[in-house]
Amino acid sequence: MIAPSILSADFARLGEEITSIAGEGDNRADWVHVDVMDGHFVPNLTIGLPVVRSLLTTSDVPLDCHLMIEDPDRWAPGYAESGAYNVTVHAEAARDPIMLAKNLRAAGSRAGLSIKPKTPLDDYVEVLKHYDTLLVMSVEPGFGGQSFIPEVLDKVRAARRLVDTGHLTLLVEIDGGINNDTIEQAAEAGVDCFVAGTAVYGAEDPGKAVAALRDQAASASGCRHAHRGGTAPGAQDGHG
């Protein structure tokens, strides 16, 4: 699955920028990734709930809201109530991540937990039993256009094992520095959903960039399944 990040889009034309990846066929994104930053949890400020509500009316591509904010326990459920498909909060910011996941699901969205590059996965394995997505940050959150940190792939491999052995039931998502040079190693490590900002909205044709990234990821993860000698697990549907 490919989730273009609108952080790299033209904010004066957000509706059109989403339309450009919301067509039919291979050029269609699976999710639209929306980076909400509060200038406190991260040193940058972007958009909040009023803009997200407007974006929800621009296309039927599910919104994947990545909240890089303090006090997500208080603010995140509003995004779920408004109709976001998946709402991701940061493990480093959540006070009661299990209660928060329950509140997000009760408000009608999937619940996502994100960990920064230096945050260990092991500390959150029990908590993640309550979550639908794990967002592994492959850059320090706050800005688009940074370089991919390959060391985080160890956490992706560990999460993949936990899912494949039935200890967790979630999608493994990666965010930061994903492009045609890095997507294959992430796919081989076991990522299900790839966030890409610069690689999609920096391209001449964002829809074609989505299709190309998905193709690359699919061939690389095909290699992973072949190496393990098994068949690919059933496709995890982003809309069910």
3-state secondary structure 153-186: HHHHHHHHHHHHCCCCCCEEEEECCCCCCCHHHH
The answer to whether residue 30 is catalytic is: no
Q: Is 134 in the site for ligand DX5 (CB under 6 A)?
A: no
Does residue 189 contact residue 153 with C-beta atoms inside 8 Å? yes
Nearer Cβ to Zn ion, position 66 or 90?
Answer: 66
- Estimate to the nearest angstrom the gap between the alpha carbon of 56 and the chain centroid: 17
Helices (H), the chain: 14-19, 49-55, 72-82, 97-106, 153-164, 183-189, 198-201, 206-227
4 contributes a contact to ligand DX5 by CB under 6 A: no
Minimum distance of ligand DX5 from residue 6's CB (angstroms): 8
Compute φ and ψ for 210, nearest 5 degrees: -60, -50
* CB nearer to ligand DX5: pick between 102 and 211: 211
Q: How far apart are CA 197 and CA 63, in angstroms?
A: 14
Strand partners, 196: 4
207, 176 in Cβ contact below 8 A? no
66 binds Zn ion (CB under 5 A): yes
How far does Cα 44 stand from its chain's mean position? 19
Question: What is the DSSP code (8-state) at residue 111?
Answer: E
Is the CB of 91 or the CB of 226 nearer to Zn ion?
Answer: 91
Q: Please, which residue, 4 or 97, has the CB nearer to ligand DX5?
A: 4
Among 35, 132, 188, 192, binds Zn ion (CB under 5 A): 35
Helix (H) or strand (E) holding 136: strand 133-137
From the number of C-beta atoms within 10 Å of its C-beta (0-12, 13-18, 19+), residue 63 rates as buried
> Could you confirm whether 154 is annotated as catalytic?
no
Answer yes or no whether residue 175 interacts with Zn ion by CB under 5 A: yes
The catalytic residue among 30, 64, 175, 192 is 175
Q: Which of 173, 175, 188, 192 binds ligand DX5 (CB under 6 A)?
A: 175
The amino acid occupying position 141 is P
Q: Is 5 in the site for ligand DX5 (CB under 6 A)?
A: yes
Q: Does 214 bind ligand DX5 (CB under 6 A)?
A: no
By CB under 5 A, is residue 64 in contact with Zn ion? Answer: no
Shortest spacing between CB 121 and ligand DX5, in angstroms: 18
190 binds, among Zn ion, ligand DX5, none (CB under 5 to 8 A by kind): none
Q: Sketch the per residue contact string, 144 through 163, with ligand DX5: x for CB under 6 A, - otherwise.
A: xxx-----------------
Of the listed 30, 35, 64, 132, which one is catalytic? 35
Residues that bind ligand DX5 (CB under 6 A): 5, 7-8, 33, 35, 66, 139, 141-142, 144-146, 175-178, 195-199
Residues that bind Zn ion (CB under 5 A): 35, 66, 175
